[in-house]
Structure 1
Amino acid sequence: MSEGGQAVATRRDVGVWGAAFLALNGMIGAAIFGLPGLLDTAVGSFAPWLLLFAGLGVMPIALCYADLASRFDSSGGPQLYASAAFGRFIGFEAGWMLYAARAAALAANANVLCAYAGALWPPLEGPLTIIVTVGAITLVNIVGIRRAVDTLGGMTMLKVAPLLLIGALGLLFAPIPAPTLPDFSAIEGVALAALYAFVGFEAATIPAGETRDPKRAIPKALLLTVAGVTLLYVLVQLAYTASGIGGSDAPLADLAAKSLGPAGALLLGVTAIISVLANQLSAVTSISRITSSFADQGLLPRWFGRISPRFATPVNSILAVGGIGLALALSGTFVTLAVISTVSRLFAYIACIAAVPRLDFLDGKLRWGRGILLPIVAAALCVWAASHSNVAEWQAFIAFLVVGAFLYLIAGRGRRTS
């Protein structure tokens, strides 16, 4: 990109831990604060093991992403990988669907955060809270990815530490129950909920162009994060299952209250707010780089690729994400977008998984283990998950694919006439 005739480039300010913070906060949002009660009601003492198996199931997908991340040092993530393997159109659609899913999640989480804040102090439950939080997250991203990642680092500690504390205290007060295998139908009914609690790690791959030594840092961050989050989820679920609370709309708040009294419930309320804020910050940091990468490749107007000469960030793409997220959150139309988030994310996953053997073929090499067997396992998991999606999700998914194709055609006409 250029500004006033001078080349303006982003800076590589993100290290291994910064990439890990992006991945972790892409994964841990609001789900963990409601999931333990749901799983405990459905499968009882098997719930911690179900989360362990879900984490192990996601690992082959993360390994495929790690393999792809080790080949590229430019921003774009899934869009870049799919483009290199299957051409610009498939790459655009993969990036577009991920963008739509995460923009919807940003809007949905803004409303979730507003509800949590209102529970602590009723005047905060209103549109002003949404405007202030989305605006602040957008501003932090504009002034520099290092500041965004540093903020994420602090927020990560503030949200993970209470979860570790409550999990550890919960296990001190009650023995761990022996797991009892439930009916398969009960497991299948909540397996997707457990699996989707682990998605979002791909956030670390998108700003590779602003990461130091991305071919080493990002793969390491992905695998460490998925493993760490799996252990955290299992610990929290073990503590909740051992507590005997059972079904609850606010399971971790109830667990905290049982372990620490009213102060514990307050601590979990604040932790939930911080968790959602960190998830939103990670979303803006990562998905704003998707449109910036599109612009660099001529798939969107050059306006989206403008780099701030002062902060060295893709300022227009960041403003666009913040504006879209704010508009969806305030209008409530985010519900329509949120319904496609699971299927659209799986589309991006499958495109990237298939990119591994395809890129190996283009490079003239054959790897039976990581290049063929591992992608088959990862793809089978995604196909199984997609098969459990409902008709409304598929209809919305197809509609957004069509919208993406239309935008691609418009951009193509602009490229031919320029």
Structure 2
Amino acid sequence: MVIISNQKSVPKKLSFISIYFLGINGVIGSGTFLLPSVIYRYMNLSAVAVLLCTAITVSLIALCYADLSSRFTGSGAAWLYSYHAFGRFTGYELGIFTWFLGCCTLSAEIVALLTTLKSFLPIFNRPLIYGVAAFGLIVLFAVINFFGRGLVKLVNNVSAAAKILTLIIFIVVGVFFIHKANFSPVIPQAALKGPMPFIHHFGEAFTPIFYLFTGFSFLPIAAKQMKNPEKNIPRVLIAVMVSVTILDALMMTVAVGLSGTKLGGYSTPLANALGGALAKGLGTTIGKWGYAFIIFGMLVSIFGVAFSASFNTPSLIASMANEHGMLPKFIGKKNKHDAPWVGTLLTSILSALFATQSYLFLVSCTVLASFIQYVPSILAVIKFEHSNEYPTYGFKLPGKYLIPSFALLVSCYMVTNFTAKTLLVGTVIAILAMAAYFFIKKDRSYEEKHMKWLEDLRNRDKKEEQLNKSSVQKN
């Protein structure tokens, strides 16, 4: 997830390279290190093809975000785009679900961290120790959030470097220990029994693979911190999706080549795959060092993502309260360290509740929350493309309605892969948010300010269009 600054001083604007690494850090998370085993169980070697297919479909959605980010330079991403397109209530609901997504991300990373620790520290298999550790991490993040927000950038940078370095070393070293025999079977026999079994296996692999790419939607949240966001964000979104697709495809191919059918049984697949291959080829000691290196990289990476999520998520609901008046003002209260302490408490409470759930369930909840963000955002692209209310700057979505239409179909397909439990959680969140909306005292000044801003934006675009026509006529 990207950093949302709460500093009162004007921060230095982020360059293209800085935004790119923020995007890489936001997309590559715990799923990259823990989900290959789950993905392999359902599709074997064909998981690489499913990954590429999923990457293309997610990229269609990312292109819609690129289109919207070239129209609006404000910080907020999906919920703000929906606010501009469909009004206050839609923006509010999307804002709540973006906060819910942040809480799920924080909980998922904490569970992933403890799952990694369990692989070599059996004490974390005890429910009491596990629960205390999860609660302790959330409290630790909250305390640091209250007093030490300056640490976020440092931890984020270290985390980004650790995950990229870990993946590159895994791929470069692992490729020398691949056995071609491990690439068989190409697809599970159970998936070949008919169309429906194949669709089932494809769907079960699609959701965790989709999770590997969901972080891109957070990139426009910090648009105000960036140089030329209307030009740089679309370019970064495309560059990040291409880079992550290449890294994940190579990672999955190497992991299968190192372990074969054993991959499906590993709790820490990349560490087990490389450690096992090195042990066979170079001896047990080297294997243990390889395993330890991957585990260390995973822990630093996962801790960094959780740490960043614990800071960004409270900032979101504080922004909804302070800058847009969508939530009660007390939610946006900050302490003397400029930390949104009420938002931090609410985020910690919800994240602690979700941290009691399984990692795969949290992955499913994250994908659900992402789906709920994607659909209104895609519809906003279609609306603005039709009305031409807010022209794009620096990026033009090709094909007019073609890409958003396909992106919408992909998003709707995601619904078929959610469990009843996941859908129930999403429904409860939506209903509670809807009920609360009608009890929140509305300050008309915020809405009037927003409407005036949109009107000024329309007038600016009309003036620029008239100037362009005049210059063409003169020439």
TM-score between both structures, scaled by the size of structure 2: 0.75
- Corresponding position: 1:152 with 2:156: yes
Aligned to 1:165: 169
SS in 2 for 1:81: helix
Aligned to 1:261: 287
2:258·2:273 contact (CA, 8 Å) conserved in 1?
yes
Percent of residue pairs bearing the same amino acid type = 22
Q: 1:160 to 1:365 in 2, by over 3 A?
A: closer
Aligned to 1:249: 266
Counterpart code for 2:159: M
For 2:359 and 2:173, the matched residues in 1 are separated by 37
| 1:13-412 correspondence runs (5 A) | 13-121=13-121, 126=130, 129-130=133-134, 133-135=137-139, 137-138=141-142, 147-174=151-178, 177=183, 180=186, 183=192, 184-185=198-199, 186-246=201-261, 247-250=264-267, 251-257=269-275, 258-259=277-278, 260-295=286-321, 296-306=323-333, 315-316=340-341, 319-320=344-345, 322-324=347-349, 327-328=352-353, 340-364=365-389, 369-411=398-440
Deviation at 1:136, TM superposition (A): 5.0
2:37·2:266 contact (CA, 8 Å) conserved in 1?
yes
Aligned to 2:455: none
2:83·2:92 contact (CA, 8 Å) conserved in 1?
yes
Deviation at 1:153, TM superposition (A): 1.8
1:30·1:272 contact (CA, 8 Å) conserved in 2?
yes
For 1:334 and 1:178, the matched residues in 2 are separated by 28
Deviation at 1:350, TM superposition (A): 0.8
For 1:27 and 1:280, the matched residues in 2 are separated by 13
Q: Deviations over 1:327-372 (max 9, x none)?
A: 3366669998776432222011111111112123443489883541
Deviation at 1:210, TM superposition (A): 3.0
For 1:404 and 1:48, the matched residues in 2 are separated by 39
1:10·1:210 contact (CA, 8 Å) conserved in 2?
no
Greater radius of gyration (CA): 2
Counterpart code for 1:249: Y
Q: 1:102 to 1:190 in 2, by over 3 A?
A: same
After TM superposition, the structure 1 stretch with the greater mean CA deviation from structure 2, 229-238 or 41-50, is: 41-50
Deviation at 1:147, TM superposition (A): 4.5
Q: 1:321 to 1:223 in 2, by over 3 A?
A: farther
Q: 5+ unaligned residues in a row in structure 1: which ranges?
A: 1-6
SS in 2 for 1:206: helix
Deviation at 1:236, TM superposition (A): 1.0
SS in 2 for 1:369: coil
1:155·1:278 contact (CA, 8 Å) conserved in 2?
yes
Q: Deviations over 1:107-144 (max 9, x none)?
A: 23223313423544456754564455445545666678
2:149·2:339 contact (CA, 8 Å) conserved in 1?
no
Deviation at 1:223, TM superposition (A): 1.8
For 1:222 and 1:181, the matched residues in 2 are separated by 32
1:25·1:278 contact (CA, 8 Å) conserved in 2?
no
1:203·1:282 contact (CA, 8 Å) conserved in 2?
no
Q: Deviations over 1:382-404 (max 9, x none)?
A: 11111222333222222111111
SS in 2 for 1:389: coil
For 2:55 and 2:152, the matched residues in 1 are separated by 27
For 2:184 and 2:33, the matched residues in 1 are separated by 24
1:158·1:271 contact (CA, 8 Å) conserved in 2?
yes
Q: 1:153 to 1:16 in 2, by over 3 A?
A: farther
Give the number of equivalent residue pairs.
409
Counterpart code for 2:271: A
For 1:269 and 1:344, the matched residues in 2 are separated by 29
For 1:317 and 1:270, the matched residues in 2 are separated by 33
1:73·1:209 contact (CA, 8 Å) conserved in 2?
yes
For 2:442 and 2:170, the matched residues in 1 are separated by 55
Q: Deviations over 1:194-226 (max 9, x none)?
A: 222211211211122333332233223322222
TM-score between both structures, scaled by the size of structure 1: 0.85
Deviation at 1:162, TM superposition (A): 1.7
Deviation at 1:101, TM superposition (A): 2.5
2:171·2:251 contact (CA, 8 Å) conserved in 1?
yes
After TM superposition, the structure 1 stretch with the greater mean CA deviation from structure 2, 233-242 or 322-331, is: 322-331
For 1:321 and 1:201, the matched residues in 2 are separated by 25
Q: Deviations over 1:168-197 (max 9, x none)?
A: 222212256599577443434422222222
After TM superposition, the structure 1 stretch with the greater mean CA deviation from structure 2, 128-137 or 198-207, is: 128-137
